[in-house]
């Protein structure tokens, strides 16, 4: 059975290693798609609809075509078709400079017949709402219903119950690097594209299919990318447009989305509104749960959210529908469906606990079947100082009131098959590890280097890692579902082990020892039965002469495990006169199995907490019902956490076993629930709608008074 | 942005002469550019000519003496925030300047630009929305989303004035020097700003061919305490949800005179004579400060989404008054 070995035997794995690309990133040497500039390159821009719903009656490209410096103008929608949201693509240009391209799209004239729009869930669900999706009656999908047990019997058994409505708004991904591509045709059958993507091979295959090219003649490169969070799996219209413009002009074309377009069309986390009734027995058992909810993923579907979540409810019913509005489509966003559901569930748990007169932590202990999280509760409570919470919510004195709360999360992160990798030992002792995955920002390069270096007794800097390129023809899946490390690490490990075995076989005769007795030391290979027999790594590799050893790996299931439990505790301070909320501290206890690189794992937890904090306190897409446009498609009014918002974060890597589990997504799940419960503990008024902003705090306090 | 020609200013006469060639929007002035560039990029403004004021000599100074301050229109927000005399004797101004945006913006943004900056309203800033302020028919905030809009003095345009410096300077009794083709004129800064009822398209009384050149601030009376309290959703950068500039001449806990000016709640910096009256001549205690807060907002008329600003502003005014007495 394959194994990562004991912690005591590990020299690198499980330790804190600075990411290998860190210096390149902070010095600007690292090249992102935005930084790629090819000789003679043109700049692409897309004209987008400012009208949320309309029929295209005509498009006049002639003035744009006539503008000096413009090399191509193409329509992206046919006359007679409908535009269904602000930001939808109408036409594109390629020009010698970005400024000319920007001027040119303003010279494209579009004749529109406006149609009535709906951009809020309430407007879409109104009885007299215009029908914006012909296939959905009343702009709503068929309900998705899940039932377990008998809710009527459950409620009959309940001693207390709570009814509440929880809401989370649409959030956008806000990737630091907007979506974009640089496309270059090497000739009419060979295409190279630099893409800001989290799925190099998926993008390659899309281009191959769309442009009818052999897959092995499309090369996609993602050396570095500035965040995806689930929104960058495919090339999108903008990617295909860049390639098409490059094809027409015979020049390389760079087409990056503007910040505004990034908000409008590059994906979002759907909203959630759920009305739920839940009951518990006198002794604190969650017994019944009945939820009806809806959410919008824009004009598309996919607005699912979890519920009931994490805690065991024997009798439950959950009914969800998607609501269509005239807005850009949702895309997967960091733990899709979970943070919304977790916020509602953990708020509900606290409301029930209060009705029972029970400590919310005790109430969770009774109802949480997950043993890992049970242990995390103890650790997290100790770290935050759970005993310091207000036993009576809102009972603190003074203008500034503090409170403590908790929330939970659960994720898979078990990885899967489909990664090919090669680990090569050259005769000069140098080592290469190549695979077609991409570094979405979690530091997979460093993880790969650590695994290979551990196997060979080398340093991470001795291993040249190549990822983010489809050309070596070593496919790997997209970086989604927290799957990258658990998918890639086992393959790298077995590839390195196979290469090592081959090297041992070559040098065993030299060392006059059986292959099975050879071991790596630090930069050496020695015979375990006779330690006087030792040679350096370089000497060993030198035996290869003109050859290299190059081995592939296999995805060994025993090297990874699915399932990551997490819990977080938040402490907040609220200025009851201004409604200002300051998160003082977050304790994040995150199950992750074997953290190959403890440092980047902690970074990942920190990042998840910060993103969760943004959802809890700041982020909301504002759609104007009158104009049908997004009012805050910028970073002034769409607010994301900055240095002032980021609290002390105690990220605890809770490693209970030595198998790899991905944790890219789960650390953002428990944060909003923990913060919302801490707010309640501070002021004694519950805010059931995210983000928890000063206006809501002040309104709630006024209502309480 | 649209193409424009760029002229380095050599004298105020030249500037006012250039401005006199046309009405609003054809020839525009640029100093720090932190507001104007965004307007150009969003096609909110499309001037033919930009006149760079940074080449004008001697307009960026800060002079402080016993009689008060003289601050050139080209002084940066950072210079104002960090000036030792302003920090010690004009605290409200230093605090207001320090609360503006980010260090990068404070380092280039100027006093004149801060006073003359345009609204942040999300309808106004959207090129496609032809709102009342831009010559259209309606103020979209009335039926639309109005979380960040005015609760006082809005009718018929519910923008809020975004300046932090203006409430502080008005509270300190500042006056402004304006140069036009006819020469120099002075007015109180309070009179400089206008409400939409008087002119829905502009936020101040400047004529298209006039330029702000200097702000004068009289020295505060002895025993003056002053504060700038700013409520934001985000640490920085963020504009005020509501702010209070308070200048209190105190005798122990008794307030001899007070000047209280609100920011972020009205289309112009909003001097609250009602709040001032509530504390003037009184020994400030909990109930007096509460009264001042309540009086400050008694004429407030919130829109759909901004009733919270009434409570917030009331509490900030009360807090400022309590701080004066402590």
| Residues forming beta bridges with residue A295, ordered by sequence position | A322
Q: Is A456 a domain residue?
A: yes
**Sequence-distant (≥ 6) Cβ neighbours of residue A249 within 8 angstroms:** A42, A71, A72, A94
Of residues A649, A458, A513, the one with CA closest to residue A571: A649
Inspect the interface and report whether the beta carbons of A642 and B235 lie closer than 8 Å: yes
Of A627, A637, A694, the CB nearest to B312: A694
pTM reported for the whole predicted model? 0.98
Contact between chains at B122 and A639 (C-beta distance less than 8 A): no
* A588 occurs within a structural domain: yes
Interchain CB contact of B308 with A (< 8 Å): yes
- Please determine, for residue A704, whether its predicted confidence score (pLDDT) is greater than 90: no
Over residues A613-617, the mean pLDDT reads 98
The overall average pLDDT reported for chain A is 97
In a domain, A148, yes or no: no
Phi, psi (rounded to 5 degrees) for A332: -50, 135
Note whether B145 and A624 are within 8 A (CB): yes
Q: Is the pLDDT of residue A492 over 90?
A: yes
**Quick check: bond before B237 cis, omega within 30?**
yes
> Do A286 and A355 reside in the same domain of the chain?
yes
Question: From the candidates B311, B314, B315, which should be mutated to test the interface with A, based on the most A CB atoms within 10 A?
Answer: B311
Query: Which structural domain range is residue B287 located in?
Result: 224-325
Are B235 and A637 a contacting pair at CB < 8 A? no
Q: Quick one: A55 and A105 in the same domain?
A: yes
* Cα gap A223→A445, rounded to integer Å: 11
Both A284 and A351 in a single domain? yes
Q: pLDDT at position A547, please?
A: 95
- What secondary structure, in 3-state letters, does A64-128 show? HHHCCCEEEEEECCCCCCEECCCCCEEEEEEECCHHHHHHHHCCCEEEEEECCCCCCHHHHHCCC
Q: What is the CATH number for A51?
A: 3.90.1170.50
Nearest in space to A488 (alpha carbons), one of A549, A528, A435: A435
Question: Cβ–Cβ of B235/A631 closer than 8 Å?
Answer: no
- Taking an 8 Å cut-off on Cβ atoms, the answer to whether A629 and B143 are in contact is no
- Band the pLDDT of B173: cuts 50, 70, 90: very high
CB contact under 8 A, A578 and B316: yes
3-class state of residue A698 by DSSP: helix
Residue A120 lies in a domain: no
- CB contact (8 A) between residue B233 and residue A618: yes
Whether B308 and A618 lie within 8 Å, measured CB to CB: no
Q: Does the interface predicted TM-score (ipTM) exceed 0.90?
A: yes
Question: Among B297, B122, B119, B97, which Cα is nearest to B193's?
Answer: B119
Q: What is the pLDDT of residues A507-554, one digit of tens each?
A: 999 999 999 999 999 999 999 999 999 999 999 999 999 999 999 999
* Domain shared by A230 and A275, yes or no: no
pLDDT at A666: 98
Secondary structure of A402-421 as H, E, C letters? EEEEEEEEEECCCCCCCCCE
Minimal Cα distance from B308: which residue of A? A695
Residue B99 lies in a domain: no
Q: Do residues A191 and A207 lie in contact, with contact meaning Cβ atoms separated by under 8 Å?
A: yes
pLDDT at A2: 87
Residue B119 domain flag:
no
Asked if the C-beta of B123 comes within 8 angstroms of chain A's C-beta atoms, the answer is: yes
Residues A289 and A430 in one domain: no
pLDDT value at A175 more than 90: yes
Closest chain B residue to A641, measured at CA: B234
The pLDDT assigned to B236 comes to: 85
> What residue of A is the nearest CA neighbor of B139?
A626
Do the domain assignments include residue B259? yes
Query: Does A308 reside within a domain?
Result: yes
The CATH number of the domain where A516 resides is what?
3.30.365.10
Residue B241 to residue A694, Cβ atoms within 8 A = yes
Query: Has residue B212 been placed in a domain?
Result: no
Q: Tell me whether residue A186 is in a domain.
A: yes
- Checking if the pLDDT of B318 tops 90, the result is yes
Q: What is the pLDDT of residues A40-57, one digit of tens each?
A: 999 999 999 999 999 999
pLDDT, one tens digit per residue, over A338-355 is 999 999 999 999 999 999
d(Cα A282, Cα A161) in Å, to the nearest integer? 10
Q: Which residue of A has its CA nearest to B2?
A: A103
> Using a CB-CB distance cutoff of 8 angstroms, which residues of chain A are in contact with residue B126?
627, 629, 631
Question: Does a structural domain hold residue B243?
Answer: yes
Residue B155 within a domain: no
What is d(CA A389, CA A570) in angstroms, rounded to the nearest whole number? 11
Q: Is B303 exposed, middle or buried (0-12, 13-18, 19+ CB in 10 A)?
A: buried
Query: For residue A577, what is the nearest residue in chain B, using CA coordinates?
Result: B315
d(CA B74, CA A134): 59
Tell me if B122 and A702 make a contact (CB, 8 A cut-off): no
Q: What is the DSSP string of A240-309?
A: HHHHHHHHHHSS-EEEE--HHHHHHHS-EEPPEEEEEEEEE-TTS-EEEEEEEEEE-BTTB-------S-
* Residue A509 and residue A429 in one domain: yes
Q: Do A642 and B316 touch (CB under 8 A)?
A: no
Q: Give the pLDDT band of residue A705 (cuts 50, 70, 90).
A: confident
Whole domain around residue A222: which residue ranges?
Answer: 33-115+179-256
Closest chain A residue to the Cα of B315, Cα to Cα: A577
Q: Is residue B268 part of a domain?
A: yes
Report yes or no on A578 lying in a domain.
Answer: yes
Give the Cα-Cα-Cα angle A654, A656, A658 (nearest 5 degrees).
Answer: 115
List the single residue in B with minimal CA-CA distance to A691: B233
Strand order in the sheet with B27-30: B5-8, B49-52, B27-30
Q: Is there a single domain that holds both residue A70 and residue A188?
A: yes
Q: What is the 3-state secondary structure (H, E, C) of chain B?
A: CCCCEEEECCCHHHHHHHHCCCCCCCEEEECCCCCHHHHHHCCCCCCCEEEEHHHCCCCCCEEEECCEEEEECCCEHHHHHHCHHHHHHCHHHHHHHHCCCCHHHHHHCEHHHHHHCCCCCCCCCCCCCCCHHHCCCCCCCCCCCCCCCCCCCCCCCCCCCCCCHHHHHHHCCCEEEEEECCEEEEEEHHHHECCCCCCCCCCECCCCCCEEEEEEEECCCCCEEEEEEEECCCCCCCCCCEEEEEEEEEECCEEEEEEEEEECCCCCCEECHHHHHHHCCCECCHHHHHHHHHHHCCCCCCCCCCCHHHHHHHHHHHHHHHHHHC
Size of interface A-B (CB pairs under 8 A): 80
Quick one: A440 and A548 in the same domain?
yes
Residues of A in Cβ contact (< 8 Å) with B305? 695
Q: Do B144 and A693 touch (CB under 8 A)?
A: no
CATH number, domain with residue B300:
3.30.390.50
Q: Does A144 map to a domain?
A: no
Query: Kind of pairing, strands A315-322 and A286-295?
Result: parallel
Q: Containing H/E element for A669?
A: none
pLDDT of residue B306: 98
Reference B189, options B180, B198, B177, B199; nearest CA is B177
- The last residue of one of the domains, among A535, A559, A583, is A559
CA distance linking residue B315 with residue A189, whole number of Å: 69
Which residues make beta-bridge pairs with A469? A221
The predicted pLDDT at position B323 comes to 98
Asked if the bond preceding A308 is cis, omega within 30° of 0, the reply is yes
- A703–chain B Cβ distance below 8 A for any pair: no
Q: End-to-end CA distance of chain B, in Å?
A: 51
Given pLDDT bands bounded at 50, 70 and 90, which one contains residue A656?
confident
For chain A, the distance separating the N- and C-terminal CA atoms, rounded to the nearest angstrom, is 64
Question: pLDDT class for B88, splitting at 50, 70, 90?
Answer: very high
Of the CA atoms within 13 Å of residue B116, those in its CB half-sphere come to 27
| B224 contact A CB<8A | no
From chain B residues 226-245, the ones with a CB under 8 A of any chain A CB are 231-238, 241
Q: A104, A122, A170, A626: best mutation site toward chain B, by most B Cβ within 10 Å?
A: A626
Q: Tens digits of per-residue pLDDT, B100-143?
A: 999 999 999 999 999 999 999 999 999 999 999 999 999 999 99
Per-residue pLDDT, A398 = 95
Does B16 reside within a domain?
A: no
Query: Cα–Cα distance between B12 and B223 in angstroms, integer?
Result: 39
Instruction: Inform me whether the C-beta atom of residue A635 falls under 8 Å from chain B C-beta atoms.
Output: no
Strand pairing report for A190-195 and A218-221: parallel
Domain identity same for A228 and A103: yes
Q: Does the structure show a pLDDT above 80 at A153?
A: yes
Residues of A in contact with B148 (CB under 8 A): 637
Of B126, B234, B319, the CB nearest to A645: B234
Q: Give chain A's domain count.
A: 3
Q: What is the pLDDT of residues A622-652, one digit of tens each?
A: 999 999 999 999 999 999 999 999 999 999 9
Residues A227 and A89 placed together within one structural domain of the fold: yes
A402 φ, ψ (degrees, to nearest 5): -105, 155
Write out pLDDT tens, residues A279-298. 999 999 999 999 999 999 99
Give CA angle at A302 (A624, A269), nearest 5°.
50
* A159 and A351 Cβ atoms separated by less than 8 Å: no
**Residue A1: per-residue pLDDT:** 72
Domain boundary (A256, A278, A296) is at A256
Q: In Å, how far is A337's CA from the nearest CA of chain B?
A: 26
Which chain B residues have a beta carbon less than 8 Å from that of A643?
Answer: 235
Shortest CA gap A693–chain B (Å): 7
User: Do A320 and A369 fall within a single domain?
Assistant: yes
Q: Are A196 and A181 in contact (CB under 8 A)?
A: yes
Given a contact cutoff of 8 angstroms between Cβ atoms, the answer to whether B44 and B37 are in contact is: no
Residues in chain B: 326
Q: How many structural domains is chain B composed of? A: 1
B291: Cβ–Cβ under 8 A, 6 or more apart, which residues?
A: B278
Is any Cβ of chain B less than 8 angstroms from the Cβ of A626? yes
Chain B residues 8-47 with CB within 8 Å of chain A: none
Closest CA to A656 of A568, A567, A559, A565: A565
What does the alpha-carbon distance between residue B141 and residue B121 come to, in Å, rounded to a whole number? Answer: 9
**Partner-chain contact A624 B235, CB within 8 Å:** no
Interface test with A, best of B234, B236, B264, B313 (most A CBs within 10 A): B234
> Is A639–B241 a contact, with Cβ atoms under 8 angstroms apart?
no
Residues of A in contact with B128 (CB under 8 A): 50, 627, 629
Q: Buried (b) or exposed (e) across A82-99, using 16+ Cβ within 10 A? A: ebbbbbbbbbbbbbbeee
User: For A204-214, what is the mean pLDDT?
Assistant: 98
CB interface of B with A, residues 246-305, below 8 Å? 305
What are φ and ψ of residue A393, in 5° steps? Answer: -55, 135
Do both A546 and A432 map to the same domain?
yes
A588: nearest Cα among A270, A431, A373? A373
Distance CA B221, CA B231 (A): 27
Q: Does A699 touch chain B (CB under 8 A)?
A: yes
């Amino acid at each position: 059975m394959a194994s990562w070995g004991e912690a005591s035997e590990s020299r690198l794995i499980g330790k804190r290693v600075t990411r290998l690309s860190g210096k390149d990133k902070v010095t600007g040497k690292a090249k992102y798609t935005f930084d790629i500039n090819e000789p003679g390159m043109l700049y692409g821009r897309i004209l987008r609809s400012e009208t949320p719903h309309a029929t295209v009656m005509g498009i006049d490209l002639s003035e744009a075509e006539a503008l000096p410096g413009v090399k191509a103008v193409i329509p992206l929608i046919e006359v007679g078709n409908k535009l269904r949201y602000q930001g939808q693509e109408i036409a594109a240009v390629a020009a010698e400079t970005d400024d000319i391209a920007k001027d040119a799209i303003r010279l494209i004239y579009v004749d529109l017949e406006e149609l009535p729009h709906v951009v809020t869930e309430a407007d879409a669900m109104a009885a007299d709402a215009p029908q914006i999706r012909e296939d959905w009656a009343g702009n709503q999908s068929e309900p998705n219903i899940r039932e377990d047990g008998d809710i009527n019997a459950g409620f009959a058994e309940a001693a207390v119950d709570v009814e509440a409505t929880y809401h989370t708004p649409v959030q956008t991904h806000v990737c630091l690097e907007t979506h974009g591509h640089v496309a270059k045709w090497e000739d009419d059958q060979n295409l190279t594209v630099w893409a800001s993507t989290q799925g190099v091979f998926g993008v390659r295959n899309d281009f191959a299919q769309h442009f009818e090219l052999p897959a092995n003649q499309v090369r996609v490169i993602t050396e570095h990318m500035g965040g995806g969070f689930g929104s960058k799996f495919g090339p999108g219209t903008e990617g295909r447009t860049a390639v098409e413009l490059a094809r027409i002009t015979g020049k390389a074309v760079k087409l990056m989305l503007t910040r505004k377009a990034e908000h409008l069309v590059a994906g979002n986390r759907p909203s959630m509104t759920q009305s739920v009734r839940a009951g518990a027995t006198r002794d604190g058992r969650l017994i019944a749960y009945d939820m009806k909810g809806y959410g919008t993923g824009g004009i598309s579907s996919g607005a699912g959210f979890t519920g009931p979540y994490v805690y065991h409810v024997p009798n439950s019913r959950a009914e969800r529908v998607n609501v269509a509005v005239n807005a850009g489509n949702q895309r997967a966003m960091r733990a899709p469906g979970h943070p919304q559901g977790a916020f509602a569930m953990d708020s509900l748990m606290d409301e029930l606990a209060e009705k029972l007169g029970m400590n919310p932590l005790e109430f969770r202990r009774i109802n949480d079947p997950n043993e890992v999280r049970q242990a995390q509760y103890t650790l997290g409570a100790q770290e935050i100082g759970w005993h310091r919470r207000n036993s009576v919510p809102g009972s603190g004195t003074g203008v500034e009131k503090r409170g403590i709360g908790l929330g939970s999360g659960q994720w898979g992160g078990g990885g899967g098959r489909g990664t090919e990798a090669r680990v090569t030992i050259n005769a000069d002792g140098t080592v290469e590890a190549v695979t077609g995955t991409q570094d979405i920002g979690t530091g997979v390069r460093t993880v790969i280097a650590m695994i290979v270096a551990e196997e060979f007794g080398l340093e991470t800097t001795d291993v040249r890692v190549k990822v983010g390129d489809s050309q070596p023809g070593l496919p790997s899946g997209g970086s989604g579902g927290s799957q990258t490390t658990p998918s890639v690490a086992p393959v790298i490990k077995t590839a390195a082990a196979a290469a090592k075995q081959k090297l041992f076989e070559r040098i065993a005769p030299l060392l006059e020892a059986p292959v099975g007795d050879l071991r790596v030391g630090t930069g050496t290979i020695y015979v375990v039965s006779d330690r006087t027999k030792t040679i350096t790594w370089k000497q060993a590799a030198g035996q290869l002469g003109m050859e290299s050893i190059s081995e592939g790996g296999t995805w060994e299931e025993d090297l990874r495990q699915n399932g990551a439990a997490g819990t977080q505790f938040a402490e907040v301070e609220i200025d009851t006169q201004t409604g200002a909320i300051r998160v003082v501290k977050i304790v994040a206890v995150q199950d992750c199995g074997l953290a190959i690189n403890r440092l980047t794992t902690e970074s990942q937890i920190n990042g998840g907490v910060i993103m969760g904090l943004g959802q809890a306190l700041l982020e909301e897409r504002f759609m104007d019902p009158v104009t049908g446009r997004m009012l805050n498609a910028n970073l002034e009014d769409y607010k994301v956490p900055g240095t002032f918002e980021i609290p002390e974060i105690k990220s605890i890597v809770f490693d209970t076993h030595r198998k790899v589990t991905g944790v890219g997504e789960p650390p953002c799940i428990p944060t909003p629930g923990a913060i919302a419960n801490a707010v309640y503990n501070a002021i004694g008024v519950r805010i059931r709608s995210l983000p928890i902003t000063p206006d809501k705090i002040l309104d709630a306090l006024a209502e309480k008074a | 942005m649209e193409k424009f020609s760029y002229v380095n200013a050599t004298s105020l006469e030249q500037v006012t002469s250039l401005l006199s060639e046309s009405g609003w929007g054809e020839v525009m002035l640029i100093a720090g550019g932190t507001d104007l560039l965004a307007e150009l990029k969003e096609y909110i403004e499309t001037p033919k000519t930009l006149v760079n004021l940074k080449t004008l000599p001697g307009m960026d100074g800060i002079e402080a003496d016993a009689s008060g301050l003289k601050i050139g229109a080209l002084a940066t927000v950072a210079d104002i925030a960090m000036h030792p005399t302003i920090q010690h004797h004009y605290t409200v101004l230093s605090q207001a300047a320090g609360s503006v945006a980010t260090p990068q913006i404070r380092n280039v943004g100027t006093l004149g630009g801060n006073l003359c900056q345009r609204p942040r309203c999300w309808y106004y800033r959207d090129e496609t929305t032809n709102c009342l302020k831009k010559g259209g028919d309606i103020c979209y905030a009335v039926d639309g989303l109005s979380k960040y809009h005015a609760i006082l003095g809005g009718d018929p345009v519910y923008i809020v004035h975004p300046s932090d410096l203006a409430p502080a300077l008005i509270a300190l009794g500042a006056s402004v020097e304006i140069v036009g083709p006819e020469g120099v004129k002075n007015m109180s800064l309070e009179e400089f700003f206008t409400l939409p009822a008087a002119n829905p398209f502009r936020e101040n009384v400047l004529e298209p061919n006039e330029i702000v050149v200097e702000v004068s601030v009289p020295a505060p009376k002895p025993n003056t305490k002053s504060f700038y309290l700013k409520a934001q959703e985000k640490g920085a950068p963020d504009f005020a949800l509501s702010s209070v500039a308070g200048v209190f001449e105190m005798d122990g806990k008794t307030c001899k005179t007070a000047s209280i000016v609100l920011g972020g709640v009205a289309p112009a910096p909003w001097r609250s004579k009602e709040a001032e009256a509530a504390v003037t001549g009184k020994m400030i205690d909990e109930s007096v400060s509460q009264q001042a807060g309540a009086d400050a907002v008694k004429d407030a008329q919130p829109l759909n989404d901004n009733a919270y600003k009434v409570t917030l502003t009331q509490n900030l005014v009360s807090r400022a008054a309590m701080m004066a007495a402590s």
